Amino acid sequence: MKNLKPLTGVFLTAALTAAALTACSAGTGSSDPNKITVYSTMIPAVQARLAEAFQAETGIAVESVRIQSSQLTKRFDEEYKANRPVADVLTMNEELYALDAAKTDMFADIADLPGVASIPSDWKLNDFTFIPSLAPNKVAYSKAKVPAELVPTSWRDLLKPEFKGQILNPDPRTNPELSCKLLHGLVLQEGESFLSDLAAQDLRIVSSSTPGMEDLAGGNGMLLDQSYDMNLLAYEDKGSPIGLSEAFDPVVGLEFFTQIPANAPNADGARKWIEFLTSEKGQTLANQGVGASPLGAAIPGSLTMPGTRVSVDPQEALDACPRYLDLLGIE
């Protein structure tokens, strides 16, 4: 395969160690007890409803910062290294970063919070990081082009001849960790031959799922093989030209890893945010119509996962990904 850059985590452990060593003195961020800053990759509509309800309940205002996941994590990391903390809460999608940062004491221990204690263990990485929401990966389809009997009900349905040249595939290099975890889960279940068979469908590579949804809505293609319920919100006022399959095995989704930075300017406010987020009300607002809650059916509006949620080792997936891209014909 030509011109394939190595797929690694966004940040190296050595850099994280340096960050921890430079963040031992008081930071320069605001410590206003009546305000917190939340760095989050949750969609704006979800973050807004959480912030509004949190302020109504606690009197603490929320400033939300949202940019693409790896960029958000990079910004947080740079601020931490410079000992200029801004974020009181960090919610992002990079599991490897969360694991490495915890090893260098960049995050506060939140295991003592009752709400966190109520979260099932398989929705927690450690005493510092938990997952309040998971957006199951699904297949989006054009309602105008895909009749009901052709809507995929398994990954192997993507290999049907009707879909040849009609499948939009987000470029795995845009978000390597997330995409490689999905590919690894598929290989573990279906075998490497599945990726070769999928490549034979003449995949049409798009930069990410968001422009892929726009292409699909505009009549370009029949399927988008990585999408989420949250992506449909932008089309609610347009007659919903796009539908979504159910989640099917293996279920690998967009996980929102959440933690409190060790140097959070308003640590008390951040702990209140985590307690709110893990409450029934917070879980409902975070997941209603867009995500699966770790508390499952107890949360109104939480998505269900009829398939089996697969826990994929992110480093193992990244190490194997160059071969997976080769099988997919992506150079």
CA–CA separation, 76 and 292 (whole Å): 26
Query: What DSSP state is assigned to residue 5?
Result: P
Nearest residue to 43 (alpha-carbon basis) of 295, 300, 285: 285
Residue 187 exposed, middle or buried by CB count within 10 Å (0-12, 13-18, 19+): buried
Measure the CA–CA gap between 76 and 39, rounded to whole angstroms: 8
What's the token pair of residue 193?
Answer: 């031959």
Structure tokens at 61: 């205002």
Distances (CA, A) of 192 to 8, 34, 188, 325: 21, 53, 8, 11
pLDDT in tens, the chain (331 residues): 333 333 443 333 333 433 333 333 334 556 799 999 999 999 999 999 999 999 999 999 999 999 877 889 999 999 998 999 999 999 999 999 999 999 999 999 999 999 999 999 999 999 999 999 999 999 999 999 999 999 999 999 999 999 999 999 999 998 899 999 999 999 999 999 999 999 999 999 999 888 999 999 999 999 999 999 998 877 766 577 999 999 888 888 899 999 999 999 999 999 999 999 999 999 999 999 999 999 999 999 999 876 677 789 999 999 999 999 999 999 7
Residue type present at position 175: N
The answer to whether the Cα torsion of 44, 45, 49, 50 is positive or negative is: negative
Q: What is the pLDDT of residue 231?
A: 86
- The pLDDT assigned to 10 comes to 36
CA angle 127, 134, 274 (to 5 degrees): 45
Peptide bond into 250 cis (omega under 30): yes
Q: Which three-class secondary structure state does DSSP give residue 237?
A: helix
How far is 17 from 9, CA to CA, in rounded Å?
Answer: 15
Residue 307 pLDDT: 67
Q: State if pTM tops 0.75.
A: yes
Q: What local confidence, expressed as pLDDT, does residue 293 receive? A: 96
Q: Quote the pLDDT of residue 2.
A: 32
- Phi and psi for 257 in degrees, rounded to 5? -75, 125
Least Cα distance to 285 among 137, 138, 133 occurs for 133
- Please tell me the distance from the alpha carbon of residue 275 to that of residue 271, in angstroms, as a whole number: 6
Residue type for 289, please?
G
